[in-house]
Amino acid sequence: MENYIGVLDSGVGGLSILSELTKALPKQNFLFFGDTLNMPYGTKTPKEIYNFTKNILDFFVSKGIKTAVFACNTTSAVAYNDLKKDYEGILKIFPLIQTCKHGFVEGLKDNDTVAVLATKATVNSKKYNEVINEINPKINVFGIDCTGFVEIVENRLYNDPDSIKLIKEKLDTVKNLKAKKVILGCTHYPYLIDIFKKYLNDVDYFNPAKYLSGVVKQEANTIEGCGDIVFYVSKDPEQFRLSAKTFFNIQTKINLI
């Protein structure tokens, strides 16, 4: 499978990244791995996240894959720096956060504020602060722990009163910060964008998926294939198929490993 690009995520959210990748590279072959056994990563320890991700990368290597995309903010934030060293010369890795760093600051100037909606693990890592301030240290970056948003999307609780209350609370924080840009720092969150805009519509929402796919198209060592997509999960393939409907229409077999 040397002509495949490996795409990994803790569950189904990364399918939003895969969707953009297939648009940018329609003839590229992909292998998607959803770690459904260990999801969600956002509440796990850094060591756990590192070990989960390393196991997936070892699987990619065993398949002959040379390029991997981290379609997961938490993995990019917490584990990428160590894994980059482990797989140097073996895998070319595109971590979501680091790959999109120039996109995060587009249109911003000194003293502007960016709000990052993300999982607890991503917020605690302060990786967004690091990559944004690396480019412009005068931009203010605030991470907002949005624990519960993933469950809203995966269970399609879009009209649930408690879900709406939680979303409004987080967006009120964004309003109070007077943020100019809001980064959707989890692959599930673009599916909440219509709800977000009902309560906060005068900010620039940034979805990293499109930016990431553009960089991969330009910089990956791609080998044109036939547009084949192979799916692997670590638990309950049929539940994955059902949950995935929000993100990606899977027509083929889902392999369990």
Which residues belong to the active site? 72, 186
> For the stretch 132-162, what's the b/e string if a residue is b when 16 or more beta carbons lie within 10 angstroms of its beta carbon?
beeeeeebbbbbbbbbebbebbbeeeeeeee
Run of H or E residues at 230 = strand 229-233
Query: How buried is residue 113: exposed, middle or buried, by Cβ count under 10 Å (0-12/13-18/19+)?
Result: middle
Pairing of strands 113-118, 67-70: unpaired
Tokens of 87: 């797989």
Run of H or E residues at 32 = strand 29-34
Run of H or E residues at 233 = strand 229-233
State how far the Cα of 224 lies from the Cα of 221, in Å rounded to an integer. Answer: 10
| Helix boundaries (H) for the chain | 15-24, 46-62, 73-78, 80-86, 96-99, 101-105, 120-125, 127-135, 149-154, 161-177, 193-199, 208-219, 237-244
**What amino acid is encoded at 27 in this protein?**
K
DSSP assignment letter at 12: S
Cα three-residue angle 33-35-39, rounded to 5 degrees: 145
